[in-house]
Amino acid sequence: MELSKIILALRKDTRTVNSHVTRGARAAVLAALGVVLLFAGGAFAIESSDSVAGSWHLDTSGDHERQRLEAIDDATEHLRSMQRGRARGRLAERTAPPEHLTIELEGSKVTMTSGGRELELELGGSPIEVSGDQGKAMLSATMEGDELIVTADGGKGERTTGYRADGDRLSVEVTMTAAMLAAPLKYVTTYTRAE
C-alpha cells in the first residue's frame, strides 16, 4: 500500500513538472521566436536599404541644375566680386553630378562607381583617406534606415551626401559646409534607375 501511494505521488509530481516544463518550454520558444523576429526585422531593414543599390542615370528633366547653381550663388554672395567668381566656378565644378552612378551594397561594404572611379567604404567603419583632383578628404559611410550617407571631411569643410531610393528614382541630397560659405550649401539631384 505504501508503494502504491508513492507511485501515485510520483505520477502526480511528474505531471506537475511536465506541465511546468511544457509552459517553460513554450515561454522559451516564444522568447526565441521574438528574438528571431527582432533580428529578422533588422535584416529586412538592411534588405530594404538595398533599394539604393543599382545603376543610376542622371535625371535631366527637372530644374535640379538651376537649383544647384542658385544655391551656390546664395552661399557665396557675401564674398567680394573676384572671390565670388572664383568660388562659384570651383563649387560649380565640384558639385557637378556625374551622369552615371552605380551603388553596390554587400553586407557592410558599399562600393560606388562614377566617372571611371570606384570608391569602397565600410558601413559604420573608420573614415578612409581619399585623394583626387579636388584634394584629400576623409570619407565614411553609414546607413540610417533606408538612406546611405557618405561624409567627406576635407579639413576646411565637410560634404554630406544622402542617397535615398524611392522605386526607380534616387534622390541625392548634398550639404556642404566651409568657412568661406555664408551658410551651408544644400541641393538635391535626382537619378533614375538604369534598365
Alpha-helical (H) ranges within the chain are: 2-49, 64-76, 81-94
Q: Give pLDDT, residue 31.
A: 35
Residue 131 has pLDDT above 50, yes or no: yes
* Cell reading at 122: 565600410
Separation between Cα atoms, residue 79 and residue 177, nearest integer Å: 15
* Cell reading at 190: 535626382
Instruction: Give the tens place of pLDDT for each residue, 37-56.
Output: 333 333 333 334 348 999 99
Q: Give pLDDT, residue 69.
A: 84
The half-sphere exposure of 67 on its side-chain side, counting CA atoms within 13 A, is: 13
Instruction: Give the tens place of pLDDT for each residue, 41-95.
Output: 333 333 343 489 999 999 988 788 888 888 888 888 888 888 888 888 888 888 8
CATH topology of domain 53-193: Lipocalin (2.40.128)
Q: What is the dihedral of CA 107, 109, 112, 118, to 10 degrees?
A: -130
- Domain layout of the chain by residue ranges: 1-50, 53-193
- The percentage of residues in the chain with a pLDDT greater than 70, rounded to a whole number, is 73
Q: Give pLDDT, residue 63.
A: 85
Residue type, 99: E
Q: Give pLDDT, residue 180.
A: 83
Q: Give pLDDT, residue 162.
A: 97
Q: Which of residues 166 and 39 earns the better pLDDT score? A: 166
Q: Give pLDDT, residue 50.
A: 44
Q: What is the DSSP letter of 46?
A: H
pTM, 2 dp: 0.70
